[in-house]
Homo-oligomer: A and B are copies of this chain.
């Protein structure tokens, strides 16, 4: 199927699509810019009108995937069972969705995890980290978590979920039964949040962790324009 027009129309998106498909077929690293261009029906150099480098393409793809994941998490929370009024159901659903996403699309997940922090100037909306934060706020507001335990709790929950996802994706942990991962997520979320709830030491005043995503928001002064601060 040859391209009809000289101008592609939306080559940027088409290249991202091709790269994403190649990642699925050959793994996070087993593909090249040339291959993605060829698959799109375009010369290798055409990509440079849309991406400064191969690396820029990888980051753009990673951000697109992250935003999709954010959406997915929001929907998973909304679809969580609410009978019984267990306020943890939403967070368990979020966790399951995160782990399932990683397990179902491991090569793409690896790409995203390896790409590291998102570009401080890029906008990933909704960012998975924001979604988790909002759900924890909601959970705390429902009385699941004391005000003292809330700060930084997202790193504890995120670490636990991310760890399970990575262990499964990298094959360090294995399961014969699909349900095992789901059950493990539930156990993990319940354990972490039960543990945080009965914390004795308040976490306020501790030196804090910050996510790369939070750093972007925090670095921006109120009313200031987006800058390239943070780049070298």
**A interface vs B, CB < 8 Å?**
29, 113-114, 116-117, 152, 155-156, 158-167, 170-177, 179-181, 183-184, 187-188, 190-196, 198-199, 201, 203, 206-212, 215
Bound together, the chains give a CA A135 to CA B216 distance in angstroms of 39
Tell me, in angstroms, the Cα distance from A30 to B199 when the chains sit together: 43
- Whether A203 contacts B179 in the complex (CB less than 8 A), given A29-B29, A160-B159, comes out as no
Known contacts A167-B162, A210-B174, A212-B174: A191-B195 contact under CB 8 Å: yes
Picked from B158, B191, B198, the residue with its CB within 8 Å of the CB of A196 is B191
A173–chain B nearest beta-carbon distance, Å: 5
Chain B neighbourhood of A155, CB < 8 A: 164, 167, 173, 184
A181 to B210, CA, bound (A): 11
Is the CB–CB distance between B158 and A163 below 8 Å?
Answer: yes
Residues of B within 8 Å of A164, CB to CB, are 155, 159, 163
A175 touches B114 (CB 8 A): no
19 A-B pairs within 8 Å (CB atoms) are namely A113-B172, A116-B171, A117-B171, A155-B184, A156-B191, A159-B164, A159-B167, A162-B166, A162-B167, A163-B165, A163-B166, A172-B211, A174-B209, A175-B210, A177-B208, A179-B207, A191-B199, A193-B195, A195-B195
